[in-house]
Structure 1
Amino acid sequence: MQYIKEIVGKLKDIRNKKTLFVLVIATTDISLIPGITIAGATPELTHFTPAADAEFLLLGKCKSINTIPVTPDGIPTPAIITRAALELFKIPKLVVNAGSRVIPKLPVIDLGGEPGGDIRKGSLRIEVAQRILENSMILGEELSKSYDLLVIGESIPAGTTTAMAVLAGLGYDALDKVSSASPQNPKELKRRIVMEALRDLPTDTFGKISKLSDPMLIAVAGLSIGFKKEVILAGGTQMAAASAIIKELSKETLNNVTIATTRWIVEDPSSDIKYLAEQVGVSVVASMLDFSSSKYEGLKVYERGYVKEGVGAGGASTLALANGYTPNDILKKVEEIYSQLVNIS
């Protein structure tokens, strides 16, 4: 049971902490580039994915689209993992809209942001990025008055490309080191986009962030800075970029931050979250999920490099493990939810 000991040791005693799970959603026009992401059946449908993920996480069904978000091959959103893990122990969930083109049909907290544009031309206007940051910091500070632990997940298709751009723009060795929802990580395409985006960068730090970042990364950073207690960034290589923004704006905050991801991200041969995290100076833990014994092919493919992470799956499953559940407990709950989806479809 070493995985539980490692997680509890890294995150101290989280079993008795009053915890809130926050899902930050946003979109970037980078997801419209063919081949950049499989987080949606078509490039155009990627703009519906964050809203649908939020709806499924809270409601168990989607209202913005007629089905749960799937890849072109029919593989379900990792929100099923998050929902399963969070159902094992009851903690409240909150959706924060940092800048999504499609708004979920449920209550959300809106940060006054806007969807991210094409980073090659400039993602966000300075005043919009500043508003997202300030409002998310205010929200984080208010949440710290009621909760001891904030777990922040994300949903933004093509977010690994904007994450790579942010990391590279801030001086980190990040090219070709971010993950993908596909086993065939489109590294060459990502590199071309990022290299073009890095041209003519502003000289000031926040100018660089505004040009390269998607709204989600700025919101996650702001929430973490505002929250005065322990923070788990529930995600993969994108959370290394969020940590880099935190470091630029409030270095001391990193002492309270841990990235919690999945085994599939840590073992991904096409990316390197451990190296990125080491550069930034943030800790990483991984939940040792294993779907190889699942009776559903749509879940077994996670073991072949599909999806890997998203919607806070790593952080939510880490919480479940730290609270005494096993990877098999999580798999059984995921299968229970997945079987209902299969029957509905």
Structure 2
Amino acid sequence: MQASATADSIRANTFSPLKERTGQARVGTIGFGKIGGVQVLAPVVLALAVLLAPTAGMAQAAGGGGARPAPSAGGFAGAPMVQVPRIISPDAAPLGAATGQMAQDSGPSPAIRELMGPSGVREVAAAEVGELLRALDAALSAQDPADPALIPTQPVESGVLLELYTSQGCAACPPADALMEILAERRDVFPLALHVDYWDYLGWKDPFAMPEFTARQKNYARLRGDRTIYTPQMIIAGETEITGPSAESVDAVIRAAQAELGQVKMRLGRDDTGFRVEMSAEPPLQNGAIVQIVRYVPDSQVEILRGENAGKVMDYANVVTAWHAVAEWDGAKPMGMNVTLDGNSPAILIVQEAITGRKKPMPGAIKAAIRLQ
């Protein structure tokens, strides 16, 4: 049976922690969907601001039993992704939604330029972008039934985020895919399977694969100074890489990552309108951070008809279907946000440091991860 999945949408309202509502940013449905009652056409925006497609080619090997390096053809030149927004204070009102000043004062942010240019939708003047943002904000404000202060929150513990880069076209991946089923039973970790597309040429097109996940894996490699990526490959807490992960090797790194959690304190609340998330850091983060929300399918079964795994019926756990950047945080001042999720797919919220790169921010340590439930 061939499995398929669709990305659910997200609406997020970001507020300053002050009692008065001093700023809010709304990043509505990412992809095709609606913001408030307004239809939005943004074909490229599923683009995980997952921290950004590299442009330089790379090629060196890093070891790893039971894993295969990605093919070198094409290097690291991938489809461009939505630019990670600049790091700002929560009081600055991301995207200029509350103040209406961003577009007029400084032109569109990199995220808006990436959205309106390479997507092929159209290029627009800065003032026009500002008008669009203000119109969307007004529409959302009219529908916002809850003051953020009215949703009570309580402390919630972070788990360790595990990212498995895998493919249905990779003969070495089934053992790691099976390990994910075991890890998915644990409550202290959040294992996520990101299917990459660079093995699709072998005869089987992975229905879960997305080029954005390949780009994210490549960016991790660039930050480490590696010139080759592999499947299966696991990134733990945004920092530690394991090629050909085993239960023993993963457990050891999880224990070390758990000892590092706690700098970012998370609070979570829920009512009929959605979720309230609050975050603070002590001491403040060294780098700014991007708040992201990941949607996934808990389990799927796929019969693979061609390629290296032809004839196998594979079970997959926690297959990622969408990865959205919903807010930016300076990591110094406390920040809160209201989140509304469309659809029934489970969701994980992560806070990930954005490391300054030569040309663009790069994915850093994941300082917090919580389940929205």
> Larger radius of gyration, structure 1 or 2?
2
Q: Decide which structure has greater strand share.
A: 2
Under a length normalisation based on structure 2, what TM-score does the superposition of the two structures give?
0.23
Q: Decide which structure has greater helix share.
A: 1
